[in-house]
Structure 1
Amino acid sequence: MGEVETWLRRLMWARGASAAGDGLWFTIWALYFTRVGGLPPVAVGVAMAAAGAVGLVAAVPLGALADRFDARHVLAATTTARGLAMACYPFAEGTWAFVLVTVVFVAPANGGNAARTALLTGLVADDGERVAVLARQRVAQHVGYAAGAGVGALVLGLDDPAAYSAAITANAASFAVLTVIALRAPTPRRPVGRFASPLRDRPYLAVAGTTAVLSLCWAMLSTGVPLWTSRSLPLSLSGVLVVISSLGVALLQVPATRLAATTSRAARTAAVSGAALAAACVLLALSGDVGRHAGVAVVVVAGLLHLAGELGYVAASWRLSLSLMREESRGAYQGVTEAATATAQMVGPAFFTAGLTAFDAGGWLLAAAVFLAAGSAVPALTRRAERSREPTPA
């Protein structure tokens, strides 16, 4: 195994460690803020919204810094800032202190993801291998997140301030692991050529924005399905679908990258993924009218279709974002992709909550139409973006 392969593996495990911290934190944060911190839920919501908005704005500039400077250092800086902010939570007294710490913790996340992708793509030149590397990173992320969530469940069971403090310390330590590994990794290849702003690359923006719509599949699973199944189906059913999704990603995300072996195949895969997610939505719309036992079976089938759509969407998104980006500005381009996905994630819970509340089963049909339209548009938009690419100078 060569030096680069060794460090790619270490970066994968470091990603798993930081994801374990994320899983631990996002399992306990709501109760920690309200029960231990004594903060009103409205303040928590406002802080998270403000931090998310800052993160959207910061993603492209932080990605551009990874192009201008060493991507390792930008990744280490954003990770360190988040780790220090996490360590400050027990000392953040008052609403404004809490808002400040939350902004510092949440806002660099998207830019840090862009810097990490810039680092990985700077270590690997071939787009196909880059997608495979990102797939292995995602598997490590899911395994780590599940392990962290399991520990978080134990913390919630204890419901003790000391347990919450220990969890915060563990999460801060997980960021330190990623920082150390990032700083010790080999120096990535520096982008060659003049910086090109992705914000002026309309064909790329169109592909990134449209593909990001398919990331609503995560809000569909975390928000839409629990709201829907709680009406007449077992409450545990949404948890079963989360388990199916997590296991499926861990087992199948790497093989699924073959569906995006080329740019054109990735575009077609995005279209098929949109159709699969739309079909899952249609089944969910029907599940409320077929009886309890049949409804459970229909929801499980919808969960399998959701998994297929998620796997295809993620693989296609990676390939399209890498194949269509300007190599000399890869960090900034990945920042655009991160910002587009984060925007969809911010809108997602409200989209499913409002749709299912206002239109009942019709909310699922609306979601199906959105998934189908977004996926169907990707191939044509990709061909347009490919035509706009200029040949790399010899």
Structure 2
Amino acid sequence: MALSAVRPGLRRLLWGRGISALGDGLWFTIWALYFTRILRLSPGTVGLAMTLAGGAGLALAVPIGALADRYGPRGVLVAITVVRAAAMAGYLVIHGTWAFLAVTVLFTAPANGATAARTAMVAGLVPGDAERMRTLAGQRVAQHVGYAVGAGLGALVLSADRPGGYLAAIAGDAASFLVLAAVTATVPAVAPVARTRTTGARLVLRDRPYLAVVGATAVLSLCWAMLSTGLPLWISRTGRLPLSLSGAVVVISSVGIAVLQVPAARLARGVGASARTAVWSGVALAVSCVLLATTSAGPVLVAASVVIVASLFHVAGELGFVAASWGLSIPLMPEHARGAYQGASEGATATVQMFAPAVFTLTLTGLGAAGWLLVAAVFVACSAPLPALARWAERTRHEPRHTI
């Protein structure tokens, strides 16, 4: 299918992603208070639900990706999006712990598989890895713009702190998923792959070089919890820096990603370049951690300035990590098992994200500034072997690739 024929559908998908991300930004801003203040659930119950949902998400990522290969990613993605819309609407009417657990698992568990199916759909519609990455980068920009707008609306809901405001926000998020489902249904279909004796799920789970590459790359996704958990915890524990500084860093990150993600994707043209980009990403994130470790002492103004500088290194590291993850997971996947392989990549990232908040909580509360140095060492240790791992994975590919 010619790229010119699918561009209108991809543009609609981009707008759909932006609208859906607006709902996500709204939801992620209010969910903690809605669960504890409106539904009156205990933190333990909320934590249990999130843990169960995260575990289910890990288990479902590869099977959902394999379903996208077998039946076509568009239909699978539309179905998942409708299910998640219904689950979000369920938060409006649930009562009791068991209903809450069921709705939370139903909403959260398919998310990683949906991302895998969406990436497989883009890969099926767009020829050439460079164009695929440009398309994915554009969607990530739309996603972050939507998040920012949604978070702003969520702040208004929190400032009003009225039950009706929370309920309206949840209804709006459910509606945003329905918009995304409707838009996705208009994108040209990708044909299912021919069935073989070895399913895509079995194939990827036996592909040790690919799993090693995406597993090592996924560790760099600690950068997300570094911003959402590590930095706010650090600022609140030191008691020296204004809490608003954490919000300023989030703004810097959002703007940096929106402006630079598409250009950053050009750094990962080819497997070798992507692996080198991942190495530099790990170094940039490590530098950010080392800088943050120095802010426990000294003049407050200097420490605040160092946090801002650290945030710039963080943005560079996150941009490089995202570009490298696409530049490694997409060229190394076989075209007949796109969904399953992207499911494995998403599953690896989900595994890291499941434990990431605990990593920062334990290291920073137990070790203080030394905790930042430990995380810095992890970033370097996971990224340094990637060029060798990528060469190993390339040697084991048996399918001709698109040239870039």
Residue 254 of structure 2: which of 246, 260, 263 is its match? 246
Is 1:204–2:221 an aligned residue pair? no
CA contact (8 A) 1:51 1:102 kept: yes
Question: What are structure 2's unaligned runs of at least 5 residues?
Answer: none
What amino acid does structure 2 have at the position aligned with 1:105? F
Q: Judge which range, 242-251 or 29-38, deviates more.
A: 29-38
Q: Judge which range, 243-252 or 220-229, deviates more.
A: 220-229
Is 1:84–2:86 an aligned residue pair? yes
Three-state SS of the structure 1 residue aligned to 2:190 is: coil
Q: How do 1:172-187 and structure 2 match up within 5 A?
A: 172-187=174-189
**What does residue 270 of structure 1 align with?**
278
CA contact (8 A) 2:291 2:310 kept: yes
Q: How do 1:32-181 and structure 2 match up within 5 A?
A: 32-181=34-183
1:159 offset after TM fit, Å? 1.3
Q: Judge which range, 338-347 or 201-210, deviates more.
A: 338-347
Distance 2:147 2:67 in 1: 28
CA contact (8 A) 2:19 2:176 kept: yes
1:391 offset after TM fit, Å? 3.5
RMSD (Å) for aligned C-alpha atoms: 1.3
Q: Judge which range, 213-222 or 1-10, deviates more.
A: 1-10
Three-state SS of the structure 1 residue aligned to 2:210 is: helix
Residue 358 of structure 1: which of 357, 366, 381 is its match? 366
CA contact (8 A) 1:51 1:107 kept: yes
Distance 2:16 2:5 in 1: 16
Three-state SS of the structure 2 residue aligned to 1:90 is: coil
1:299 offset after TM fit, Å? 1.1
1:297 offset after TM fit, Å? 1.2
What amino acid does structure 2 have at the position aligned with 1:110? N
**What does residue 12 of structure 1 align with?**
14
Distance 2:120 2:360 in 1: 33
Q: How do 1:226-241 and structure 2 match up within 5 A?
A: 226-230=232-236, 231=238, 232-241=240-249
**What does residue 229 of structure 2 align with?**
223
Distance 1:256 1:391 in 2: 27
Q: Alpha-carbon deviations, 1:165-209, whole Å to 9, x = none? A: 111111111000111111121112443574442111000000010
Distance 1:207 1:199 in 2: 13
CA contact (8 A) 1:193 1:328 kept: no
Distance 1:182 1:150 in 2: 26
**What does residue 380 of structure 2 align with?**
372
CA contact (8 A) 1:191 1:330 kept: no
Is 1:387–2:395 an aligned residue pair? yes
Q: Judge which range, 383-392 or 317-326, deviates more.
A: 383-392
Distance 2:344 2:276 in 1: 22
1:41 offset after TM fit, Å? 1.5
List structure 1 segments (4+ residues) > 3 angstroms apart after TM superposition: 189-196
Distance 1:216 1:42 in 2: 24
What amino acid does structure 2 have at the position aligned with 1:78? I
CA contact (8 A) 2:65 2:339 kept: yes
What amino acid does structure 2 have at the position aligned with 1:367? V
1:222 offset after TM fit, Å? 1.0
CA contact (8 A) 1:63 1:114 kept: yes
CA contact (8 A) 2:278 2:324 kept: yes
What amino acid does structure 2 have at the position aligned with 1:18? S
CA contact (8 A) 2:72 2:191 kept: no
CA contact (8 A) 2:334 2:399 kept: no
Q: How high is the TM-score relative to the length of structure 2?
A: 0.95
Residue 4 of structure 2: which of 2, 5, 14 is its match? 2
CA contact (8 A) 1:284 1:299 kept: yes
**Aligned pairs, how many?**
393
Three-state SS of the structure 2 residue aligned to 1:368 is: helix
What amino acid does structure 2 have at the position aligned with 1:20? L
Distance 2:358 2:20 in 1: 28
Q: How high is the TM-score relative to the length of structure 1?
A: 0.97
CA contact (8 A) 1:67 1:328 kept: yes
Question: What are structure 1's unaligned runs of at least 5 residues?
Answer: none
1:275 offset after TM fit, Å? 0.6
What amino acid does structure 2 have at the position aligned with 1:203? P
